[in-house]
């Protein structure tokens, strides 16, 4: 089996083409949403909150919004593609050919990573005009952006396989992904939270993705980026194992 | 060489047994018909062959490759036209066929894609989005998708359901050519005249079991004699002739314009006796026609026998 097989490349290309053909909805809309968050929260809280010494609130917010957009769009890409294909029945075009489980997973996740990064880059390009940003450790920015998008892309594959209806997927998105993202420190440092909620935040893997990503900009974070990397990598490995297991068993795909 | 080997396949859904130990061998190069009424298990069996359904018991092999344990090799040898009219609304016809080629590991397949489109009259729709196609055109694309990798085994699950005569002719011409070139074809259809014209061998399924498996000639020989179709102008069919009825075309509503019956006869000499019985009962024959028994008669007879619990294999 080859990860760069024609089968993998074709499915990856198809998934890219799918979101590119509706770029207004899949790329432009989330960029606009993130910009609105920045304008509103930045305007209300600028000058009142200083999370890290010497870093304005708007500057603190930008990496959080970028990472939130990366994560949410990576999830949306794989999950919506799978649920649409399942409901319309065209998933059969993927299930009939000799694609391996790894090829299917990697293609969906890779396309999710690309969409997440494209939206993230777009959000950054727009929001960076509103704040003075530094790039203390750019490698961490890339590592956490790619890994975070891959995790959410994989979670999207799992949710897309599990969900039978659009409202089940919406529940997954609204009751799991959104709260986990919002409570991961997009808008604040968890050090500003009471002790109990700080402890709870440490069980949220999204916190480590956003904290590690932000470290790449400011060289400051709530915890060490190495710790975040270890936790995020372990989380990715677990999710990938779950997704592969579902594909191998044909869970809700092959009856 | 055996193209498809089906060994004692069983499949249940929530207590309902859709397949009850089906065993079949389909040889390479055959044009094979899989017939049966709705709910007989045809689509379940085809989905099992395609790897879309996993059997509870038994196994299926395509060219010697198990569809579960050696699925990649098995699927390379198989092209399936699904019954449902499904399509991806994001792509044009050509994009759809290029993507499907890629899933089978084939790059630069435009030569064959053009040939398939030409043979299925899709060339002038190549750059049209799938959403804009009519149902018949979408069906053609489904057939084309199943053929992009030139599979040695082609499975068509009711490919002509609800499509016009033109597509049927185009499709059968192309599929017959592929069969002559050595491709194995498995067809399920409710149009029995199509099966009779195309298939060399037939399996009939009922309630998840194979109730008949024979060559087309073998099956046609099973029903001796012919059909006498009578249209009564007056009166109704006497009770004594009722056992000969193979089709009551009135659906139990005797009399009036639709007073037509198909009666099974073994020899032309029996016609006079039937007419005599009709005259005695006061019935007046308006129109009469002799017809050789066809697959539909055999199908109805075998399904009737299976219902009565008689072995038909």
Interface test with A, best of B48, B79, B105, B131 (most A CBs within 10 A): B105
Nearest residue on chain A to B148, alpha-carbon basis = A97
Per-residue confidence in pLDDT tens, chain A, 255 aa: 455 899 999 999 999 999 999 999 999 999 998 888 888 877 776 666 666 777 788 888 889 899 999 999 999 999 999 999 999 999 999 999 999 999 999 999 999 999 999 999 999 998 888 888 888 899 999 999 999 999 999 999 999 999 999 999 999 989 999 888 888 888 777 877 888 888 888 899 999 999 999 999 988 888 999 999 999 999 999 999 999 999 999 999 998
Tell me the CA distances in angstroms from A167 to A96, A174, A175, one per residue in order: 27, 10, 11
Q: How distant is the Cα of A242 from the closest Cα of chain B, in angstroms? A: 20
Task: Say if residues A120 and A44 touch (Cβ distance below 8 Å).
Answer: no
Contact A21 B90 (CB under 8 A): yes
Cα maximum dimension of chain A: 58
Give the whole-angstrom CA distance, residue A157 versus residue A226.
Answer: 27
Q: How distant is the Cα of B15 from the closest Cα of chain A, in angstroms? A: 14
DSSP state of B118: H
The answer to pTM > 0.90 is: no
Nearest residue on chain B to A89, alpha-carbon basis = B86
Contact A14 B54 (CB under 8 A): no
Residue A195 has a CB neighbour count (10 Å cut-off) of 7
3-state helix, strand, coil in chain B (%, to 5): 40, 30, 30
Residue B56 has a CB neighbour count (10 Å cut-off) of 13
Instruction: Return the C-alpha torsion angle B231, B236, B238, B244, nearest 10.
Output: 40
Task: Say if residues A35 and A127 touch (Cβ distance below 8 Å).
Answer: yes
Tell me, what's the ipTM?
Answer: 0.87
Structure confidence by residue, pLDDT tens digits, B267-310: 778 888 888 888 888 888 888 888 776 777 777 777 776 555 54
Residue A47 has a CB neighbour count (10 Å cut-off) of 10
Structure confidence by residue, pLDDT tens digits, B241-278: 888 887 666 554 444 445 888 888 877 788 888 888 88
Nearest to B54 among A21, A98, A254 (CB): A254
List the one residue out of B22, B60, B57, B67 whose CA is nearest residue B41: B22
- The reported pLDDT for the residue numbered B224 is 60
Contacts of B52 in chain A (CB under 8 A): 92, 95-96, 254-255
Percent of chain B with pLDDT over 90: 50
Task: Say if residues B105 and A98 touch (Cβ distance below 8 Å).
Answer: yes
Nearest to A5 among B74, B105, B145 (CB): B105
Structure confidence by residue, pLDDT tens digits, B167-178: 888 889 999 999
Question: Where do the domains of chain A lie?
Answer: 6-249
Strand arrangement of the beta sheet that strand B57-62 belongs to: B16-27, B2-13, B57-62, B65-66
Distance in Å from the first CA to the final CA of chain A: 25
Coil, helix or strand for B26? strand
Task: Say if residues B158 and B5 touch (Cβ distance below 8 Å).
Answer: no
Q: Average pLDDT of B198-214?
A: 89
Contacts of A57 (CB under 8 A, 6+ apart): A41, A42, A45, A46, A47, A48, A49, A50, A51
Contact B145 A93 (CB under 8 A): yes
Nearest residue on chain B to A10, alpha-carbon basis = B102
Task: Say if residues A77 and A154 touch (Cβ distance below 8 Å).
Answer: no
Query: Count of H helices and E strands in chain A?
Result: 12, 0
Domains of chain B: 2-220 (3.40.50.300), 224-292 (3.30.70)
Of chain A residues 3-22, which have a CB less than 8 A from chain B? 5-7, 9-11, 13-14, 17-18, 21-22
Interface test with A, best of B93, B103, B105 (most A CBs within 10 A): B103
């Amino acid at each position: 089996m080859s990860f760069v097989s024609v089968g993998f490349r074709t499915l990856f290309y198809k998934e890219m083409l799918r979101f590119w053909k509706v770029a207004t909805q899949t790329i432009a809309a989330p960029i606009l949403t993130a910009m609105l968050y920045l304008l509103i929260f930045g305007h209300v809280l600028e000058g009142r909150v200083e999370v890290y010494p010497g870093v304005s609130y708007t500057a603190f917010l930008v990496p959080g919004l970028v990472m939130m957009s990366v994560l949410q769009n990576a999830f949306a890409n794989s999950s919506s593609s799978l649920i649409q294909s399942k409901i319309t029945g065209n998933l059969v075009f993927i299930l009939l050919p000799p694609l391996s489980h790894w090829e299917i997973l990697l293609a969906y996740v890779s396309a999710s990573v690309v969409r997440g990064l494209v939206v993230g880059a777009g959000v950054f390009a727009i929001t960076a005009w509103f704040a003075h940003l530094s790039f203390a450790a750019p490698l961490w920015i890339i590592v956490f952006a790619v890994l975070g998008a891959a995790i959410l892309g994989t979670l999207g594959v799992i949710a897309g396989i599990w969900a039978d209806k659009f409202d089940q997927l919406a529940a997954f998105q609204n009751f799991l992904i959104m709260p986990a993202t919002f409570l991961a420190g997009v808008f604040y440092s968890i050090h500003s939270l009471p002790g109990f909620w700080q402890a709870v935040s440490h069980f949220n893997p999204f916190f480590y993705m956003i904290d590690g990503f932000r470290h790449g900009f400011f060289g400051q974070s709530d915890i060490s980026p190495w710790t975040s990397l270890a936790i995020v990598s372990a989380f990715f490995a677990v999710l990938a194992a779950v997704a592969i297991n579902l594909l191998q068993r044909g869970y809700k795909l092959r009856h | 060489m055996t193209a498809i080997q089906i060994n004692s396949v069983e499949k249940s859904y929530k207590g309902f047994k859709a397949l009850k130990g089906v065993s079949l061998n389909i040889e390479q190069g055959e044009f094979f018909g899989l017939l049966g009424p709705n709910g007989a298990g045809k689509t379940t069996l085809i989905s099992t062959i395609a790897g879309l359904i996993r059997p509870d018991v038994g196994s299926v092999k395509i060219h010697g490759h198990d569809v579960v344990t050696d699925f990649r090799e098995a699927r390379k040898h198989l092209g399936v036209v699904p019954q449902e009219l499904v399509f991806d609304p994001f792509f044009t016809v050509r994009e759809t066929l290029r993507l499907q080629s890629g899933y089978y590991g084939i790059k630069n397949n435009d030569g064959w894609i053009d040939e398939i489109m030409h043979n299925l009259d899709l060339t002038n729709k190549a750059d049209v989005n799938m959403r804009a196609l009519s149902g018949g055109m979408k069906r053609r694309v489904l057939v084309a998708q199943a053929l992009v990798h030139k599979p040695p085994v082609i499975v068509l699950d009711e490919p002509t359901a609800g499509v016009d005569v033109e597509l049927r002719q185009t499709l059968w011409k192309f599929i017959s050519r592929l069969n002559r070139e050595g491709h194995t074809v498995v067809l399920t259809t409710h149009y029995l005249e199509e099966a009779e014209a195309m298939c060399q061998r037939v399996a009939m399924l009922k309630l998840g079991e194979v109730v008949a498996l024979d060559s087309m000639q073998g099956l046609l020989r099973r029903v001796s004699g012919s059909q006498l179709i009578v249209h009564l102008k007056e009166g109704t069919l006497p009770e004594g002739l009722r056992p000969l009825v193979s089709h009551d075309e009135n659906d139990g509503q005797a009399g009036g314009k639709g007073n037509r019956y198909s009666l099974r006869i073994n020899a032309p000499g029996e016609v006079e006796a039937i007419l005599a019985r009709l005259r005695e009962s006061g019935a007046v024959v308006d129109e009469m026609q002799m017809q050789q028994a066809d697959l539909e008669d055999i199908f109805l007879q075998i399904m009737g026998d299976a219902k009565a619990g008689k072995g038909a294999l």
